[in-house]
Amino acid sequence: MSVLLSVLVGVLAAYLLIYYSLFKGARFKSNVTLKGKTAIVTGSNTGIGKTTALDLAKRGARVILACRNKEKAEAAVYDIRKESGNPEVLYMHLDLASLKSVRGFAETFLKSEPRLDLLINNAGLIVSGRTEDGFGMAFGVNHLGHFLLTLLLLDRLKQAEHSRVVNVSALLHRLGSVDFNLLNTHKDLVTGVIATEIGRNMGVLQKLLFLPMSKLFFLDPEGGAQSTLYCALQEGLEPLSGRYFSSCALQNVSAQGKDDALARKLWEVSERLCGL
């Protein structure tokens, strides 16, 4: 029994060492305040998005929770207002699986909000199926909906000094590839590396395989939000616009992530798919 206990203690110690050295991630520390500034955080009723929205609210920002589920978003608004003491937190409906909804959100926002300083494109999911417009769900929500949203709000962002757009991504982009023939299908399933509710729409088998690993080895929402906050608030990052960050530090990307011709083609295809 003593030998078994020693082995278990050793395994636990090894896990904790690996977790805190490799998976816990860096922490963003800054006293910057955001009084008078406005931020949009998509998918902010749970997980990384909610943690990000809470931090921005604590800093005094006016925070728009752009979410699909009204009930969950309003509950998140209540939680964030209570914890931050900031009443300038509100919900606006946005369904990224519908380009019509994206346009409606942008129209409503531009009519009701005079400024926009931060756009945090955080929402993401792992699910098969199709969007309202017939695109693969993951591609339609994780990329195309955010692409259109950003372009529709770009002029308002440019009006604010030091405004920023942060696109939340994943380390597993290094294993990915681009096949433009698949962009209109349901086959563009993507994976994530943060232990949040991103997998809530997974099938039973996928959850059995993915969720235990995510709880053991992946960042929790607070840890996952740190790089987002770093990119949104750290001073002096303007010369690094468009670069990839992880653990609050500049990181290398895959060869495809540096391919300007590929990026240009994706941009052009995305404009066409959005009807721009």
Domain residue ranges in the chain: 35-273
The alpha carbon of residue 179 and the mean position of all alpha carbons in its chain are separated, in whole angstroms, by 23
- Asked whether the beta carbons of 118 and 56 are under 8 A apart, the reply is yes
CA distance linking residue 176 with residue 241, whole number of Å? 22
CATH superfamily of 35-273: NAD(P)-binding Rossmann-like Domain (3.40.50.720)
Least confident of 5-14, 21-30, 263-272: 5-14
Please indicate whether residue 10 or residue 245 has the higher confidence score (pLDDT): 245
Q: Record the tokens describing residue 51, joined without a space.
A: 């943690």
Phi, psi of 103 (to 5 degrees): -65, -40
pLDDT tens sequence across 73-126: 999 999 999 999 999 999 999 999 999 999 999 999 999 999 999 999 999 887
Instruction: Give the pLDDT score at 203.
Output: 58
Residue 206 has pLDDT above 50, yes or no: yes
Instruction: Give the pLDDT score at 251.
Output: 87
Q: Find the mean pLDDT for residues 162-172.
A: 86
Residue 177 has pLDDT above 70, yes or no: no
Q: Find the mean pLDDT for residues 213-230.
A: 68
Instruction: Give the pLDDT score at 124.
Output: 87
* pLDDT bucket at 223, cuts 50 / 70 / 90: confident
Residue with tokens 């942008």: 106
* pLDDT bucket at 259, cuts 50 / 70 / 90: confident
Which run of H or E residues covers position 102?
helix 99-112
38 beta partners: 62
* pLDDT bucket at 202, cuts 50 / 70 / 90: low
User: Which residue type does 196 have?
Assistant: T
Cα–Cα distance list, 93 to 43, 53, 65, 74, 159 (Å): 10, 16, 8, 10, 24
Instruction: Give the pLDDT score at 169.
Output: 85
- Asked whether the beta carbons of 172 and 197 are under 8 A apart, the reply is no
Residue 187's contacts (CB-CB under 8 Å, 6 or more residues apart) are 136
